[in-house]
């Protein structure tokens, strides 16, 4: 399943199975006891920390966050919008698979400005 995290599109194969295998590595706690809101808050903490540290998330972490968000919310896209103060604001969405394929064709995150414009349009 294609998943959009900010400006990166990844293919998360069998999200529930991936989450069941990798939740300890991810550090989110037992996924069976997580509510959707808790999953989003956990993902936000990882994204915000990477932003604070000025580091990019590695591919496996993006896949793990995708599996978590898909499994717990059903959304196939999330954008964490930075705020001037406080934590980022999560925006979850369900985007048509062909639109995600188009986002991936924009360069799989290499053309973030174009992707962010397209994301803003699709989330409206």
Strand partners, 80: 90
The pTM (predicted TM-score) of the whole model is 0.82
Among 13-17, 82-86, 115-119, the least confident range? 115-119
What secondary structure, in 3-state letters, does the chain show?
CEEEECCEEEECCCHHHHHHHHHHHHCCCCHHHCCHHHHHHHHHHHHHHHHHHCCCCCHHHHHHHHHHHHHHHCCCEEEEECCCCCCCEEEEECCCHHHHHHHHHCCCCCCHHHHHHHHHHHHC
- Over residues 16-41, the mean pLDDT reads 95
Work out the pLDDT band at 124, boundaries 50, 70, 90.
Answer: very low
Predicted confidence (pLDDT) per residue in 53-110, tens digit: 999 999 999 999 999 999 999 999 999 998 888 889 999 999 998 888 888 877 654 5
What does the chain come to in residues? 124
């Amino acid at each position: 399943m294609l998943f959009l995290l900010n400006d990166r599109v990844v293919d998360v194969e069998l999200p529930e199975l991936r989450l069941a295998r990798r939740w300890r590595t991810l550090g989110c706690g037992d996924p069976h006891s997580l509510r959707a809101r808790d999953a989003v808050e956990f993902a936000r903490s990882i994204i915000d920390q990477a932003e604070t540290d000025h580091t990019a998330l590695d591919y496996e972490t993006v896949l793990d966050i995708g599996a978590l968000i898909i499994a717990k919310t059903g959304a196939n896209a999330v954008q964490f919008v930075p705020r001037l103060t406080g934590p980022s604001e999560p925006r979850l969405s369900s985007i048509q698979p062909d639109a995600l394929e188009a986002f991936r064709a924009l360069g799989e995150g290499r053309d973030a400005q174009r992707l962010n414009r397209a994301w803003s349009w699709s989330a409206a």
